[in-house]
Amino acid sequence: MTDSLVDSPRLAAIAGPTTSLTTHILDLALGRPAVGVEIRLERHDPPDWSLVCTGVTGSDGRITTWSAPVGPGTYRLVADSGAYFEATSRPTFYPEITIQIRLESLPHYHVPILLSPYSYSTYLGS
């Protein structure tokens, strides 16, 4: 597995200044990084959402490298938590986690996800 996101032609269409975006998922029930969680990054182009790229969390639970920078706009991270919990033989109340974010002028955004089978939390990290 890799901790980078696979690019798509959609990235080339994003114009303007660039910023970096990273994320990681911590499995609070097990007290360790959530390895192997697939995450889609989608961009809001009203009225639709367009797939920018996908990635899988690495051994440290992180996706730190994008195949290309992203620009300002509204995005959503969609994590396949159901497949992760199924792979670890645990039931979950949240089979998919969707986090909508707005990227503006900061040079870097970090969006951690704290996960357990029956809850999750997120915040703007550093």
Report the CATH number at residue 99: 2.60.40.180
Over residues 94-104, mean pLDDT: 96
Q: Which domain holds residue 81?
A: 5-122
Backbone angles phi, psi at 82, to 5 degrees: -60, -45
Kindly report the CA angle at 114 between 113 and 120, in degrees rounded to 5? 95
Over residues 18-28, mean pLDDT: 92
Whether 123 has a binding-site annotation, put simply, is yes
* pLDDT band with cut points at 50, 70 and 90 for residue 23: very high
Over residues 8-12, mean pLDDT: 40
Identify the CA nearest to 18 among candidates 71, 64, 67: 71
Q: What is the number of structural domains in the chain?
A: 1
Whether 62 has a binding-site annotation, put simply, is yes
Over residues 90-108, mean pLDDT: 94
Backbone angles phi, psi at 53, to 5 degrees: -170, 170
Predicted confidence (pLDDT) per residue in 32-60, tens digit: 999 999 999 999 999 999 999 999 999 99
